[in-house]
C-alpha cells in the first residue's frame, strides 16, 4: 500500500510539470546614518582607483591626508565625537598644507591615521543576516565576492568594525582548503578562508552561500569603517575563491525570485533600498530604458560615448568607451573629456592636484550632467555633483576624470536614477526616481 501511494505520488508529480510558482520579492532598506560626517572626496576617489587597480595620481595621497585633517577640524568645531588614536607625526606636513585651523588637533596628537572616522561611522546601513549575525555590508554591483571582517582578524584590525564569528553560527560549514584573495594595484587587499552559511537579506535567503572570512585585510580596509565587508553583485565569473570559484548571492537566489532582477533605489540622505525579485513601477517615473550588458569583464557594463552639460548639445567623448554601473563606488569617474567639458561650465572650477581632483567654489550652481547609458541619455542632477567640502571655500566634485580606459558610474549616478539589474537577460534598466 505504501509503495502504491509512493508511485501515485510520483505519477502526480510527473503529471503536473508546472514549475513551482516563484513568488519571491524581497527588500533591504538602505538607511542613511544621521550621525555620519565623514565625507572625504579624495579618499572616495582613492578607494575607487584601488578597487579598479587604476594608477594613483601624484598628490592624491597628500590630498587624502589634507582632507582628513580638514574634516577632523570641522568635526571638532561641530562636536567632540572624533576618536583620537595613534599619532603619525608626518601629519604635521599635511597640517601645514591644510592651513592653520587644525593646530589644536595637532597639539592633541591627531595625525594622519586619526583620519579614521569614529566607530560605526558609516554613511549608509544595509543589514545582512549571516548565520544569525547581522552585519552592515556594502552592496557592490562592481565585484563578486561576499567577504566579511571575521573574528580571525586581530583586534587592531577590527576596531570600529562589526565582525562575523563562524564559531557563533549553528549553520556555518568550512569549505576545506578554499581561500579567497582580492588584491589591488597598490598592494592593498583582503584574503582569508571560506565557508558556507545561511545568508538572509530582507527575507531573500540562500542556505549555502559562500561567505569569505578575512584573516588579513590591508590598512585601507581597516581605516574604511564604512565596510564590514562587501556583498558582491557583479557576475560570478569575477569571484576570487579558489580552487572552486563560488557563485554570488544573486546567482544563488535568482531561481527563487519572482523575476531574475534586483534593483537599486538609492537616494541622497534618505531611505533607499535594494529589492530582489521585481522592478517596482512606483519607484520611477516614465518608461524604464533597458540596454544590453556587455558581460565580457564580469561587470554590469555598457557603452557610454556621449555626454551633455546642462541643456547643451550632446557631444561625443570617446567612441566605443565603456562604463560600468557600480553601487559599491561613491563617485562618478568619467572620460577626462567629459570632466573637462563639465567643469569648464562651472566658474572658477579647477583640476587641482593638491586637492586630488576637480574642485569648485562650494556656492556654485552646478549644471546637470547627461550621461550615455548604452545609447540613451540619463541625467545626473547638478546638486548631486557637489560631493564634499575640501576647505573653507572649495568643494570636491562627485564626478572626476578616470585615469584608465573604463568609466565608473557610482553612487552619485544612482542618486539621480533608479536602476534595475536583470540577470535573466543580462540587461540594465534605468529611469529617473519617482
Question: Per the residue annotation, which of 138, 145, 224, 326 is the catalytic one?
Answer: 326
Contact segment (CB under 6 A) with ligand NAG among 27-35, 154-162, 194-202, 332-340 equals: 27-35
User: In the annotation, is 165 catalytic?
Assistant: no
**Closest-CA residue to 127 (of 27, 241, 236):** 27
**Closest-CA residue to 207 (of 222, 194, 221, 197):** 197
Using the 8-state DSSP alphabet, how is residue 87 labeled?
-
**59 counts as binding ligand NAG under rule CB under 6 A:** no
**425 counts as binding ligand NAG under rule CB under 6 A:** yes
In the range 304-333, which residues lie near ligand NAG by CB under 6 A? 322
By beta-carbon proximity to ligand NAG, the closer residue of 265 and 368 is 265
The position carrying cell 571582517 is 149
**Which one among 119, 134, 285, 296 touches ligand NAG, defined by CB under 6 A?**
296
**Which one among 129, 165, 186, 391 touches ligand NAG, defined by CB under 6 A?**
165
Is residue 75 exposed (0-12), middle (13-18) or buried (19+ Cβ within 10 Å)? middle
What distance in Å separates the CA atoms of residue 209 and residue 212, rounded to the nearest whole number? 10
**Which one among 10, 11, 35, 354 touches ligand NAG, defined by CB under 6 A?**
35
**42 counts as binding ligand NAG under rule CB under 6 A:** no
Closest separation in Å from C-beta 104 to ligand NAG? 6
**382 counts as binding ligand NAG under rule CB under 6 A:** no
The position carrying cell 569575477 is 238
Closest separation in Å from C-beta 125 to ligand NAG? 7
Question: Per the residue annotation, which of 68, 121, 138, 140 is the catalytic one?
Answer: 140
What distance in Å separates the CA atoms of residue 14 and residue 62, rounded to the nearest whole number? 68
**Which one among 152, 196, 220, 304 touches ligand NAG, defined by CB under 6 A?**
152
Beta pairing, strands 229-232 & 138-140: parallel
**228 counts as binding ligand NAG under rule CB under 6 A:** no
Q: Are 199 and 129 in contact (CB under 8 A)?
A: yes
Contact segment (CB under 6 A) with ligand NAG among 245-253, 293-301, 381-389, 392-400 equals: 293-301
User: In the annotation, is 129 catalytic?
Assistant: no
**Could you tell me the CA-to-CA distances from 78 to 37, 68, 124, 252, 428 in Å, in that order?**
10, 15, 21, 46, 42
**256 counts as binding ligand NAG under rule CB under 6 A:** no
Degrees to nearest 5, angle at CA 277 with 273 and 281:
65
**85 counts as binding ligand NAG under rule CB under 6 A:** no
Contact segment (CB under 6 A) with ligand NAG among 32-40, 66-74, 126-134, 379-387 equals: 32-40
For the beta carbon of residue 76, count every other beta carbon within 10 angstroms: 17
Indicate left, alpha or beta for 374 from its phi (over 0: left) and psi (-120 to 50: alpha): left
Sheet holding 272-276, edge to edge: 124-125, 26-32, 272-276, 261-265, 417-422, 427-432, 289-292
What is the distance between the terminal CA atoms of the chain, rounded to a whole angstrom? 60
**151 counts as binding ligand NAG under rule CB under 6 A:** yes
**Which one among 37, 76, 85, 120 touches ligand NAG, defined by CB under 6 A?**
120
By beta-carbon proximity to ligand NAG, the closer residue of 90 and 316 is 90
- Which residues participate in catalysis according to the annotation? 140, 326
Write out the residues near ligand NAG by the rule CB under 6 A.
33-35, 88, 90, 100, 103, 112, 120, 150-152, 165-167, 290, 292, 294, 296-297, 303, 322, 422, 425, 427
Amino acid at each position: 500500500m505504501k509503495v502504491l501511494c509512493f508511485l501515485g505520488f510520483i505519477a502526480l508529480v510527473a503529471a503536473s510539470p508546472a514549475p513551482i510558482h516563484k513568488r519571491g520579492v524581497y527588500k533591504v532598506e538602505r538607511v542613511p546614518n544621521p550621525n555620519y560626517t565623514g565625507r572625504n572626496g579624495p579618499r572616495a576617489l582613492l578607494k575607487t582607483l584601488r578597487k579598479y587597480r587604476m594608477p594613483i595620481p601624484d598628490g592624491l595621497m597628500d590630498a587624502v591626508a589634507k582632507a582628513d585633517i580638514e574634516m577632523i577640524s570641522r568635526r571638532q568645531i561641530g562636536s567632540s565625537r572624533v576618536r583620537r588614536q595613534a599619532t603619525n607625526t608626518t601629519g604635521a606636513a599635511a597640517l601645514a598644507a591644510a592651513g592653520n585651523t587644525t593646530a589644536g588637533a595637532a597639539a592633541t596628537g591627531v595625525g594622519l591615521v586619526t583620519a579614521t572616522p569614529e566607530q560605526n561611522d558609516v554613511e549608509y546601513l544595509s543589514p545582512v543576516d549571516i548565520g544569525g549575525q547581522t552585519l552592515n555590508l556594502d552592496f557592490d554591483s562592481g565585484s563578486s565576492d561576499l567577504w566579511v571582517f571575521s573574528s580571525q582578524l586581530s583586534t587592531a584590525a577590527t576596531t570600529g568594525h562589526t565582525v562575523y564569528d563562524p564559531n557563533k553560527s549553528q549553520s556555518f560549514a568550512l569549505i576545506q582548503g578554499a581561500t579567497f584573495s582580492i588584491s589591488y594595484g597598490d598592494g592593498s587587499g583582503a584574503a582569508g578562508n571560506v565557508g558556507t552559511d545561511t545568508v538572509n537579506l530582507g527575507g531573500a535567503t540562500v542556505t549555502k552561500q559562500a561567505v569569505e572570512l578575512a584573516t588579513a585585510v590591508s590598512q585601507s580596509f581597516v581605516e574604511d569603517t564604512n565596510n564590514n565587508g562587501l556583498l558582491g553583485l557583479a557576475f560570478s565569473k569575477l569571484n576570487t575563491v579558489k580552487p572552486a570559484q563560488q557563485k554570488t548571492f544573486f546567482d544563488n537566489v535568482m531561481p527563487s525570485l519572482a523575476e531574475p532582477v534586483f534593483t537599486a533605489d538609492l537616494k541622497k540622505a534618505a531611505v533607499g533600498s535594494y529589492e530582489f525579485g521585481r522592478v517596482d513601477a512606483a519607484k520611477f517615473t516614465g518608461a524604464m530604458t533597458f540596454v544590453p550588458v556587455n558581460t565580457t569583464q564580469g561587470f554590469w557594463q555598457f557603452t557610454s560615448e556621449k555626454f551633455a552639460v546642462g541643456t547643451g548639445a550632446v557631444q561625443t567623448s570617446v567612441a566605443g568607451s565603456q562604463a560600468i554601473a557600480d553601487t559599491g563606488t561613491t563617485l562618478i569617474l568619467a572620460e577626462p573629456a567629459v570632466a573637462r567639458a563639465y567643469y569648464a561650465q562651472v566658474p572658477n572650477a579647477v583640476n587641482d592636484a593638491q586637492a586630488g581632483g576637480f574642485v569648485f567654489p562650494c556656492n556654485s550652481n552646478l549644471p546637470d550632467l547627461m550621461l550615455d547609458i548604452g545609447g540613451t541619455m540619463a541625467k545626473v542632477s547638478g546638486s548631486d555633483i557637489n560631493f564634499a567640502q575640501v576647505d573653507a571655500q572649495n568643494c570636491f566634485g562627485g564626478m572626476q576624470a578616470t585615469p584608465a580606459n573604463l568609466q565608473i558610474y557610482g553612487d552619485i549616478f544612482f542618486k539621480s536614477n533608479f536602476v534595475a539589474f536583470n540577470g535573466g537577460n543580462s540587461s540594465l534598466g534605468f529611469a529617473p526616481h519617482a
